[in-house]
Each structure stands twice: as C-alpha cells, then as structure tokens.
Amino acid sequence: MAHPQLTSTDFEPLLTNKAELEKISGKSTSYWKDAWRRFRKNKLALAGIFVILLLGIMAFNGAKMSGHNFKDNDLMATNQTMSKDHWFGTDTLGRDIFARTWEGAKISLFIGLMAAFLDLIIGVIWGAVAGYFGGKVDEYLMRIADILYGLPYLLVVILLMVLMGQGIWTMIIAMVITGWINMARIVRGQVMQLRSEEYVLASRSLGASNSRLLFKHLIPNTLGPILVTLTLTVPNAIFTEAFLSFLGLGVPMPHASWGVMTSDAIGAFQYYPYQLFFPAFFICLTMLAFNVIGDGMRDALDPKGRK
C-alpha cells in the first residue's frame, strides 16, 4: 500500500509547538471594533454622515456666503428665480431663499438634535430604572408610559402647541413630552434582558451598588439599540417641525425653518415651484441622510439582523 510519491523521510515526525495549537485561528475583534468595520463598509451610511456634516457647516456659514440676510425683504425683488445675486431665488416677500435655507438648516438640525437628546435623557433614565428595579416600580412607570403611548403623537404635539404658543423651545418640549416613551421602552426591554445575565450577577455578588451597575454595566451594554433609536428620532423630529410649521404652529415669524418655507411656498407653488423645491429638497435630504445612517448603524451593531 505504499504511496508512490512519498519517501521514508516523509514519515519523520512533524514537530508542532503545543502552545501554537491553543492559538485560535482568525483574529478576534471587539464588538465595537467589529461594528465600526461593518459600518465603514456601508457606503450609503458614510455618505449620510458626510451630508449631515456638510449641512452642519452650511448652516453656520451658508448665509454669509450669499451676502444676504435671511430676514431682509426686498419688495423690489420678489419671486425672482435663481440668479447670480440670489442663488436660490427670492420668495414672495423678496427674501433670499439661499440664506433662508441655511437658517432653516440651523433650526431644523437644532430642533432634531435637541429633541433626540432630551428623549435620550428622559427615556434612558425612565427605562433603565423601570427595567432594573422591576416589580411594582416597573409596573407603575410603564403603565404611565403605556397610557401616553396610546395617544397619537402628532395630535398631542398639536394640542400642546396650541396651549403653549409658538416657539422653538415650546416645539421641542411638545415633542419630548411624548417622544421619550419609545426610547424608554427599548431601554427597559434591553435592561430586563441583560439584568438576568451572568456578568451582572457576578458584579452584584462582588458588592457593586445599584447605581454603579446601572451606569457601568447596563447602560453601556444597551448602547447599540439606543444609538439606533436616537438616529431615527432626529428625522422624525425634523418631520414634526415641518409638519407643525405647515399647520401654522411652527417657529414664529422672523425665523425661517424649512417647514415655514415649505408652508409659505405651497400657496403659490403652481407659479413658483422653485420656492417649494429648495426647502422640500433639504427636508428630504436630511431625513434620508439620518435614515441611512440609522439603518447602517442597525446593521453594524446587530450582526444577527444583518441581511
């Protein structure tokens, strides 16, 4: 049965290093490193981040570039189309649409980010406390959340705006009053699940205090779903701003938000469609960018759900 190609030297022992055997083939990478690697591969999500950064820069510098102020009206130059002087044209009151667009970017991004931030603070604390303590605390906290959750979000926001009057901060507060619930529910679910896992038990048996457990173990581990929810809250808030402005409940007069601009333009859009185009385009672009970033993050952070 001798193999023809082999010589007797081939049957000398192959010396292998025992320690080598225990080395795991293939590098093991940490969860966040791995997630970042996956996220970086997602060209669409990277483009989304680029768009947001660009919008952010333009929000602070765009108005200066045009040489026009967003609130100055020039009744001699109303409803002008795109020109050298007015890059995006002017609106019915002769205001420069280019300058207004970037002022709108500032307001929309501010409202979106601030609403998401406040949602985060309230939602995480509420959800983490409910999920961590469980029992009666959980029941009461989540019952309150359930009742608020049952109410249609926009209806509540509209009623609150009617009550509180127009303004950027009243709008943010109106959004946050019901907006945090989603975050709270997600955090609670995650915490409930993690609470029973072993490393929490382990650190508990080592005498870690409740607040230490909450902030050192549970919240870092629930960060993934929180980040995703956060990213998807921003476009929702931007949409709500536009929606309210459209109903005439948005930011008050001298301010120019994209919603206000859309609302102003829609009356005459049969004649001056470009006036509607710019704010509408930027609303969609921003929402699109945040949506693809959110999707990218979800795919990156949850390898199981990756399709």
Partner 1 sequence: MGKYILKRIGYILLSLYLIITATFVLMRLAPGSPFASERRIPPALEQQMNEAYGLNDPIHKQYIEYVVNAFTFDFGPSFKFVGQEVTDIIFRSFPYSLVLGLEAMFIALGIGVLLGVIAAIRHNKFSDYIAMVIAVLGISVPSFIMASILQYVFAIKLEMFSVARMESFADTILPAVALATTPLAFIARLMRSSMLDVLNSDYIKTAKSKGMSQRVVTYKHGLRNAMLPVISYMGPLIASILTGSFIIETIFGIPGLGSEFVTSITNRDYTVIMGTTVFFGILLLFSVLIVDLIYGLIDPRIKLTAKGGEK
Partner 2 sequence: MKKILSVKNLSVSFDTYKAEVKAVRDVSFDLHEEETLAIVGESGSGKSVTAQSLMRLIPMPPGKFVGGSILFNGEDITQKSEKQMESIRGKEIGMIFQDPMTSLNPTMTIGKQIAEGLIKHHSMAKKEAYNRGVELLKLVGIPTPEKRINQYPHEFSGGMRQRAMIAIALACNPKILIADEPTTALDVTIQAQILDLMKELQKETGTAIILITHDLGVVANAAHRVAVMYGGKIVETGTVDEIFYNPRHPYTWGLLGSMPRLDNHDEELKAIPGSPPDLADPPKGCPFAARCPYAMKACGSHMPEYYELSSTQKTACWLLDERAPKVEPPEFANVGGSKVNG
Residues 206-245 that bind partner 1 (CB under 8 A): 235, 239, 242-243
Binding to partner 2 by residue 205, rule CB under 8 A? no
Q: Does 120 bind partner 1 (CB under 8 A)?
A: no
**Residue placing its CB nearer to partner 1 in the complex, 121 or 162:** 162
Question: Per CB under 8 A, which region of 103-111, 186-194, 196-204, 272-280 contacts partner 1?
Answer: 272-280
Smallest CA-to-CA distance from 221 within 203, 207, 206, 235 is with: 203
Check binding of 22 to partner 2 (CB under 8 A): yes
Among 35, 97, 175, 249, binds partner 1 (CB under 8 A): 249
End-to-end CA distance of the chain: 50
Query: Measuring CA to CA, which residue among 225, 207, 249, 240 is closest to residue 300?
Result: 225
User: Which C-beta is closer to partner 1: that of 54 or that of 201?
Assistant: 54
Q: Looking at this protein, which amino acid is placed at residue 230?
A: L
Query: For the window 101-140, what string marks contact with partner 2 as x by the rule CB under 8 A?
Result: ----------------------------------------
Residues 6+ apart with CB under 8 A from 242: 108, 250, 257, 258, 259, 262, 283
**Least separation in angstroms between CB 307 and partner 2:** 13
Question: Considering the rule CB under 8 A, would residue 220 count as an interface residue with partner 2?
Answer: no
Contacts of 194 (CB under 8 A, 6+ apart): 200, 217, 218, 221, 222
Cα dihedral across residues 34, 40, 41, 44: positive or negative:
positive
Q: For the chain, give the number of residues.
A: 307
Tell me how far, at minimum, the Cβ of 30 lies from partner 2, in Å: 20
Nearest distance in Å: CB 18, partner 2: 7
Cβ–Cβ < 8 Å for 231, 290: yes
79 and 272 Cβ atoms separated by less than 8 Å: yes
96 forms beta bridges with 90
Instruction: Give the angle subtended at the CA of 143 by the CAs of 137 and 147, to the nearest 5°.
Output: 155
Residue from the set 163, 198, 253, 254 that interacts with partner 1 by CB under 8 A: 163
Q: Does 11 bind partner 2 (CB under 8 A)?
A: yes
Residue 239 interface partner, choices partner 1, partner 2, none, CB cut-off 5-8 Å depending on type: partner 1
Q: Note whether 246 binds partner 1 by CB under 8 A.
A: yes
Q: Which of the listed partners (partner 2, partner 1, none) does 159 bind, with a CB threshold of 5 to 8 Å by partner kind?
A: partner 1
Classify 23 in phi/psi space as left (phi over 0), alpha (psi -120 to 50) or beta.
beta
Interacting residue ranges for partner 1, rule: CB under 8 A: 147, 150-155, 158-160, 162-163, 165, 235, 239, 242-243, 246-249, 262, 266, 269-270, 273, 276, 280, 283-285, 287-288, 291-292, 295, 305, 307
